[in-house]
Amino acid sequence: MELTDKRLKLTKNRVVQMQELGIHSGEELLTYYPFRYEILKTSGISTWREGDKITFEGEVVSAVKSWRYGRNRTVAKFEVMADGEIFQVTIFNRPWAKQLRLNEVITISGVYNGKHKITAVSYKNKPLDQLPLITPVYSAKEGITQRTISECIRHTLEGMAGEISDLIPEDLRQAYRLQKRVTALKWIHFPEDEYQVTQAYRTLKYEEFLRFFLAVQMIKNQVSSQVKKKRKVLDYARINSFIDHLHFELTPDQMKAVTDILNDMESEKVMYRLVQGDVGCGKTIVAAVALYAAVTAGYQGALLAPTEILAQQHFETIRELLGPLGIRVELLYSGEKAARKKEIIQAVSEGLVDILIGTHSILQENVIFANAGLVIADEQQRFGVEQRRTLREKGQQTDFLLMSATPIPRTLASTLYGDMDISTIETMPAGRKPVITTLIRENSFRSVLPDVKTVLERGNQLYVICAAVEQSDDYPARDVEETAKTLSKLFAGTANVGVLHGRMSSEEKQSIMEMFYRNEIQVLVSTTVVEVGMNVVNATGMIVYDADRFGLSQLHQLRGRIQRGSTQGQCWLLTSSNDADTLARLEVLVKTSNGFEISYEDLRLRGPGDILGTRQSGLPDFILGNIIEDTNILNTARKDAEMIYNNRNDPAYQAILQDVERRNERNFVIID
């Protein structure tokens, strides 16, 4: 139901406000769940100790004094009487507090500072007995109040009540003592107590997981029921000779991945495999062997990278490996000159190009393969379902290989990538040294300057990562432009400073990267555009400003840029945050260099949406469910989903099956 539907009774202004929050339908509004709850718990004044969080009822007994300070900041002070005692209350950035009236009874929440002084966090213009015991708190933006969000949800819940059907089959709902969907939604948004919140969570988490695993079952069924492909006849003599003549030995995990891939290519089943491994584990050589194998069988191969940087890197590596064997490797990207692009596309269509490497340019309709046999997508979570489908359509006998440098433990991988076969590379190539990571509790260069000077004096290079391109009041963080200016002055005469970010043209980015590669730039100030694809062995140092703004897996990916050679890499994570949870999260990177452990922690803290790209994978994302903490509900839902799908003609299961199919109908064409 659209937000503009008259049954929801939302004003135009409120529709716009909800859209600013990314909400565009009634269903999205009902699933805009609170991120926490304020629980009204009081204690007697005689028990208060300095530093205690308190909630109490008091009567305003003095006029409110309010004034501004700094930029758009206010402070208000007034006195209240509670249990016959007078308390001085201070509250910040609540300019409307000056509207409080003498003798008005209000409820205050805040921190007791001792000596009858209180710093209030919030207040309600009602006495305690008129307030709910538990209040949902939603993620909001400036100008959109909690009350506005709550009232919009209330109107929507009332307007859609007749259309909210139960998705969980009745037999399972009864067996697990779950709530009806309309009740669960009411309790999660308007609970009367903590019990209702708990029951709402149980119901809605189970529903999320059940929908997820049913989607997996549907995709699996589509894959297994597709038209079988012709077996590829691989030339093992050439493949083994290529592997034997490499200047390094493949690790056991790399060999296992290669064997899995070659077996898939030889079978009648279209390959749909994920190769996952930590940063620097050697996935590229596995991809090179797979591409070469496809060529030996008489097919063309394609490798799709999410960025031009990574596409260029793959092109250079694979051309160096396979070019001497008479394999023609070409690179196609948007920044290439038109005449050259036309020439490459023509050669691909005529079968003269054996392996095509590129960015989204490969997806263009005019790129037609003579005989595509293998498509590889690197950093697979960065590609949407439609892009994968387009690649799949490039050939009738095409096998599909996905690669990810965000590894997760096997048991979780089988859960989240349930529609794919999985090969995992855990062992690292010999000679790689883990990066030494240090957490600096200030967002300043000064404390690491001596170490940085040592890196540069050794003749090595340095990355400096910023969260923003330029200064912005909406996003206060160290930015690339100002940081580069500061460092250019600091290192004048000793090191050249370069700038790299996503707003630059393809030509500009390529030029800067080549200069950094040739060591003409010693300090590269960049956004996360270097997260993948920068392979500069001489770069051994990295500084990350505002490290708290990045996910753990992303930070691990970034520091992987300085783990390319045998020289010890050093990474400094800078943050001005004093939040205990944030600091504990960043300490994970200090303690371990194991990407599996790091992604596991990221999954626990952030969920799969950001980590694995499940929002684009064709599978429903989790809003409430946490795959680490909710393993019991998850495993139960997985078992039930399989049972439902095996009995999919049962009328009792039609509602949820149709809902999953409707939500994901566009996504069930990953492989057709």
Q: Residue 426 carries which side chain, given as an amino acid letter?
A: E
* Ranges 42-46, 325-329, 382-386, 592-596: which has the least confidence: 382-386
CA distance 92 to 114: 18
CA distance 51 to 658: 54
Q: SS3 sequence, 150-170?
A: HHHHHHHHHHHHHHCCCCCCH
pLDDT at residue 167 is higher than 60? yes
Phi, psi (deg, nearest 5) at residue 87: -125, 140
> Quick one: pLDDT at residue 54?
92
pLDDT at residue 225 is higher than 60? no
The token pair that represents 297 in the structure block: 């069988």
Characterize the bridge pairing of strands 436-440 and 461-465. Answer: unpaired
> Quick one: pLDDT at residue 380?
54
The CA distances from residue 123 to 92, 110, 342, 396, in Å, are 12, 9, 67, 65
CA distance 330 to 347: 10
**Residues whose CB falls within 8 Å of the CB of residue 567, separated by 6 or more in sequence, listed in order:** 433, 460, 537, 540
* Ranges 236-250, 296-310, 420-434, 658-672: which has the least confidence: 658-672
**Residues whose CB falls within 8 Å of the CB of residue 342, separated by 6 or more in sequence, listed in order:** none
Nearest CA-CA partner of 357 in 326, 384, 324, 327 = 327
pLDDT at residue 280 is higher than 90? no
Q: Residue 239 carries which side chain, given as an amino acid letter?
A: I
* Ranges 144-148, 449-453, 578-582, 651-655: which has the least confidence: 578-582
pLDDT at residue 668 is higher than 50? no
> Quick one: pLDDT at residue 613?
46
pLDDT at residue 603 is higher than 80? no
Residue 558 near residue 544 (C-beta atoms within 8 A): yes
> Quick one: pLDDT at residue 277?
86
Q: At what angle do helices 631-646 and 654-664 cross, to 10 degrees?
A: 100
CA distance 436 to 459: 19
Q: Which string of b and e fits 17-39 if b means at least 16 CB within 10 Å?
A: bbeebebeebeebbebbbeeebe
> Quick one: pLDDT at residue 286?
96
pLDDT digits (tens, 9 = 90+) for 443-501: 988 889 999 999 999 999 999 999 888 776 666 788 999 999 999 999 998 999 999 98
Confidence of residue 274 (pLDDT cuts 50, 70, 90): confident
Kindly list the structural domains of the chain, giving each domain's residue range(s) and its CATH number in brackets, ordered by start: 41-131 (2.40.50.140), 210-226+626-667 (no CATH), 236-267+281-404 (3.40.50.300), 436-592 (3.40.50.300)
pLDDT at residue 212 is higher than 90? no
CA distance 509 to 12: 43
**Residues whose CB falls within 8 Å of the CB of residue 360, separated by 6 or more in sequence, listed in order:** 304, 334, 387
Q: In the predicted model, what is the mean pLDDT of residues 183-188?
A: 96
Q: In the predicted model, what is the mean pLDDT of residues 345-351?
A: 95
Using a pLDDT cut of 70, give the percent of the chain over it.
Answer: 89
pLDDT digits (tens, 9 = 90+) for 133-150: 898 999 888 889 999 999
Q: 3-state class of 204 per DSSP?
A: helix
> Which run of H or E residues covers position 329?
strand 329-332
pLDDT digits (tens, 9 = 90+) for 82-129: 999 999 999 998 888 889 999 999 999 999 999 999 999 989 899 988
Nearest CA-CA partner of 403 in 423, 427, 377, 425 = 377
Using a pLDDT cut of 90, give the percent of the chain over it.
Answer: 53
pLDDT digits (tens, 9 = 90+) for 168-184: 999 999 999 999 999 99
The mean pLDDT value of the chain amounts to 87
Confidence of residue 664 (pLDDT cuts 50, 70, 90): low
Residue 472 near residue 482 (C-beta atoms within 8 A): no
Distance of CA 196 to the CA centre of its chain: 30
Residue 426 near residue 280 (C-beta atoms within 8 A): no
> Quick one: pLDDT at residue 617?
47
> Quick one: pLDDT at residue 635?
87
Range among 93-102, 399-408, 617-626 with highest mean pLDDT value: 93-102
CA distance 491 to 522: 10
Q: Which residues pair with 574 in a beta bridge?
A: 440
Tokens 């930070």 sit on residue:
555
pLDDT at residue 382 is higher than 50? no
The CA distances from residue 624 to 245, 402, 581, 629, in Å, are 51, 28, 20, 11
Q: In what order do the strands lie in the sheet with 497-500?
A: 436-440, 570-574, 539-544, 461-465, 523-526, 497-500
pTM beyond cutoff 0.85: no
Q: Is 339 exposed, middle or buried (0-12, 13-18, 19+ CB in 10 A)?
A: exposed
The CA-to-CA distance between both ends of the chain, in Å, stands at 31
* Ranges 407-411, 500-504, 513-517, 655-659: which has the least confidence: 407-411
Q: In the predicted model, what is the mean pLDDT of residues 203-210?
A: 94
Q: In the predicted model, what is the mean pLDDT of residues 22-51?
A: 90
Range among 122-131, 350-359, 522-531, 532-541 with highest mean pLDDT value: 350-359
* Ranges 272-281, 353-362, 383-392: which has the least confidence: 383-392
